[in-house]
Amino acid sequence: MTEAEDRKPRSDEARTTYDPEVTSEFAVPAGLAVPRAGTESETTSEFAVPEGLEAPQPASAEPEGSAFSLPSGYSAQHGPMVFTPPGGVPAVSLTKDAPWQDRMRTMLRMPVTERPAPEPVHKAEEGGPAVPRVLDLTLRIGELLLAGGENAEDVEAAMFAVCRSYGLDRCEPNVTFTLLSISHQPSLVDDPVTASRTVRRRGTDYTRLAAVFQLVDDLSYPETHVSLEEAYRRLAEIRRNRHPYPGWALTAASGLLAGAASILVGGDLIVFFAAALGAMLGDRLAWLCAGRGLPEFYQFTVAAMPPAAIGVALTLAHVDVRAAAVITGGLFALLPGRALVAGVQDGLTGFYITASARLLEVMYFFVGIVIGVLIVLYFGVKVGGQLNPEAALNIEKRPLLQIAAAMLLSLTFAVLLQQERSTVLPVTLNGGVAWSVYGAMHYVGDISPVASTAVAAGLVGLFGQLLSRFRFASALPYTTAAIGPLLPGSATYFGLLSIAQNEVDKGLVSLAKAASLAMAIAIGVNLGAEISRLFLRVGSAGKRRAAKRTRGF
């Protein structure tokens, strides 16, 4: 053996057999051949597969996944419920005759893990619903409702009803003042689908609002099948519908509303026509500003000037009329009662972001009215106008005339809100009942105006909710116009007049009274609606949960 060959490395077997340095007791004895299974190291685990036994391989060539992978043969579409609470699925007894608003609101106020089992799907499209298109239809319907002034909870209930009518049971709608979003997740192992839509333009048209509610009601009715194409077609027709009243009728309605309001605060026939003329001029100026693209803040500022200017002009001309009644009547057509009621309702039902945005909008409109009236009153005081804050406080007791004026005010308010003609008569009667209750409590019973207003507004909300349930429609057309006679127009005017006459403390007290009356109206309307839902047997009242808050901490 050469020296080069002697330096080559020896194999393991040769070293194990012939190397004299190996002295370990675990060494393989000479002459014993150890079979080698392969190139890998020897398996010594007790879980090793015995020799000659072949483990069955799965049919799929994919490697085994994690513990969270889908089991073989599992289908998310036909699988069992995912969100099952520890105590089982609660049974919610809702009668079939219950309005869809109550059924959807009942489930919306439940946590996701406690909602009842999905109802049988009656309107699923062939091959399953197209999830993105259903979500898009839901967002478009919610946009029309929110832009029309509906409160956030009812918008969410309508969106939830549309999704469930097409078989999308695990949906979560979310409504804010300007943004709508909805998310659908078939199961915990499927990716969610989320869509959103921004509300950029708002308009008051209760006829369109009623048509949207009718569409949702048809979608929610179990015996009716409305396809996605049919729903889109009806929604497009609703968007294209013209207003039920022409522009000249709206201007005339604003004038009659202001005249009726002036009668409520002690005006006569001359005051009626003066207030009507000022309101119609303000309405036309607001339309002109809107056509020029000015924001609503400036529209309210301009619209508040003509009634105040006519009242100051009558005072300067020494006409024996109550100028305060003229200005107060003109302000009634501008007070944002609809937005105020919706804002307070959103706050009472837990939608605080939307409520804050609505109340901020009301504040901007109110500040616009204040600026417009203060500018005119300031110049009127400077040129020698003797405006007496006590001139309209001694209101004569004319119950029949005031009830008729209150009904006329509600009727014209309904026209301004573009309501259906079939709803004008009920809301007119509702407004007359509201003023009768207020007058009986305040003028006859000598009860504070805030308490009287709250009770009258509560009856308005109660009757409006009953009428809406009878027709399976929104409650707004039956309540918003009926609270018109209760709006704090006189308290607002006297507060502004006191500020213009450098009596700031007195003016702030009067404005605080106006704010209290406005809050009493909004809370009363909401309380009346809640009372109607509490005592009417439309389902299990105990299951319609509200948010549970801590008590001060």
Of 390 and 471, more confident:
471
pLDDT in tens, 212-244: 988 988 888 777 778 888 889 998 888 887 778
Of 212 and 190, more confident:
212
pLDDT at 59: 47
Q: How far apart are CA 145 and CA 203, in angstroms?
A: 10
Name the pLDDT band for 544 (thresholds 50, 70, 90). Answer: very low
- Say which range, 13-17, 33-37, 360-364, has the weakest mean pLDDT: 13-17
Of 30 and 456, more confident:
456
- Decide if pLDDT at 32 tops 70: no
pLDDT in tens, 310-358: 888 888 887 777 777 888 888 877 877 777 778 887 888 788 888 888 8
Element (H, E) at 524: helix 504-535
Q: How far apart are CA 408 and CA 395, in angstroms?
A: 19
Q: How far apart are CA 332 and CA 267, in angstroms?
A: 14
Amino acid of residue 161: A
Q: How far apart are CA 453 and CA 443, in angstroms?
A: 12
- Give me the percent of the chain exceeding a pLDDT of 70: 71
- Say which range, 374-388, 448-462, 478-492, 538-552, has the weakest mean pLDDT: 538-552
* Residue 174 phi, psi (nearest 5): -140, 125
**C-alpha distances out from residue 125 to 130, 132, 133, 167, 370, Å:** 8, 13, 11, 9, 55
Q: How far apart are CA 177 and CA 357, in angstroms?
A: 6
pLDDT at 113: 54
| Residue 165, token pair as written in the block | 């009518």
Residue in this structure with the two tokens 């047997």, named with its chain if needed: 537
pLDDT at 381: 75
Predicted TM-score of the model (pTM): 0.70
Amino acid of residue 530: E
Of 167 and 143, more confident:
143
pLDDT at 125: 45
Q: What angle do CA 528, 486, 536 make, to 5 degrees?
A: 15
- Decide if pLDDT at 187 tops 70: yes
Mean pLDDT for 453-468 is: 87
Q: What angle do CA 361, 366, 368 make, to 5 degrees?
A: 100
Which among 294, 293, 288 has a CA at the least distance from the CA of 306? 288
pLDDT at 50: 65
Mean pLDDT for 101-124 is: 56
pLDDT at 256: 92
- Decide if pLDDT at 195 tops 50: yes
pLDDT at 98: 62
